[in-house]
Amino acid sequence: MSNNEQEMKNAETKKPLGPPKSTAREYFESFVVTLVMAIFGMTFVLQAVTVPTGSMQNTILIGDYLLVNKFIFAPGGKPIPFLPQREIERGDIIVFKYPGNKVDPREDIALGVKAYRENYVKRVIGLPGETIEFRGNQVFINGELLPEHVNITLDERTESEMPLKDTAPLQPDEKYSVYYSERSTETVRRGQDVGRGFNFGVKGKPMKIPDDMYFAMGDNRDNSGDSRVWGFVHRDLVIGRAMFVYWSCDRGASGGSMFGCITNPRLDRIGKMIK
């Protein structure tokens, strides 16, 4: 028997694999695979959050929608070999579950927030084992002045949609900008108490940060409910690091319209890296 005859015989005896897939079935299978990958990504790699307050202005504005990298921080502080993971560093802008105000729980009730349910966005200022101290508008870590780029602004209201203004360029040793109001800056210059609600710790005295804990603060220092008020952030509450703005809108310009975030976008903010 020739080779051609043998091939024809094999083709005749070969069982069919089944009817060809319909177009609807192919679309359905593609949709299921995409959905599974999306669920995996949102569970372990990425997460989207929005910013409702001005505690991080001018770095992050009210109405910014952020994409969060949930994979970058190694679980337990131990990076997995060959993976792009690292420990949390000073200056990182983290997203975390609000730990709750253990000092004055009545504030949470007044603000309508609940522990472990709200996502907060703040900058890491103090690391585990360090001592942190506040003297006026200056932050000291282990007794040394923390190099922060301080901007003075007239606008200190968290409800304002207007971004705060930078007053000077960053210096080489300054990695990020923070904002204090002209009023509080002048108060500190006169040697008077600013009168902020430092419920946690004692002003003017060093405070040691426990293991697996972080001290987080907003960049809009005069209008940020942060670790100065409710305490440390445990490592287990950290969701990830803010990456970039994927959408932004001026809610104030919408006049309360439910479509305001679509009709009043900030196109210049889209794609802006958070640092």
In this prediction, residues 169-196 reach a mean pLDDT of 83
Q: Residue 268 pLDDT > 80, yes or no?
A: yes
Q: Residue 148 pLDDT > 80, yes or no?
A: yes
Q: What pLDDT, on a 0 to 100 scale, did the predictor assign at position 18?
A: 52
pLDDT digits (tens, 9 = 90+) for 20-38: 666 665 545 454 444 444 4
Rounded distance, CA 37 to CA 133, Å? 45
Rounded distance, CA 85 to CA 79, Å? 5
Q: What pLDDT, on a 0 to 100 scale, did the predictor assign at position 44?
A: 46
Across the chain, mean pLDDT equals 80
Query: Would you list the domain boundaries of the chain?
Result: 46-263
Neighbours of 10 (CB within 10 A): 9
In this prediction, residues 240-261 reach a mean pLDDT of 78
| % the chain with pLDDT above 90 | 37
pLDDT digits (tens, 9 = 90+) for 36-53: 444 444 444 567 888 888
Q: What pLDDT, on a 0 to 100 scale, did the predictor assign at position 115?
A: 93
Q: Residue 157 pLDDT > 60, yes or no?
A: no
Was domain 46-263 assigned CATH 3.40.50.150?
no
Rounded distance, CA 7 to CA 5, Å? 5
Selected residue with higher pLDDT from 198 and 244: 244
Selected residue with higher pLDDT from 61 and 203: 61
Specify which of 70-79, 140-149, 183-192 reaches the highest per-range mean pLDDT: 140-149
Amino acid at 128: P
Selected residue with higher pLDDT from 81 and 261: 261
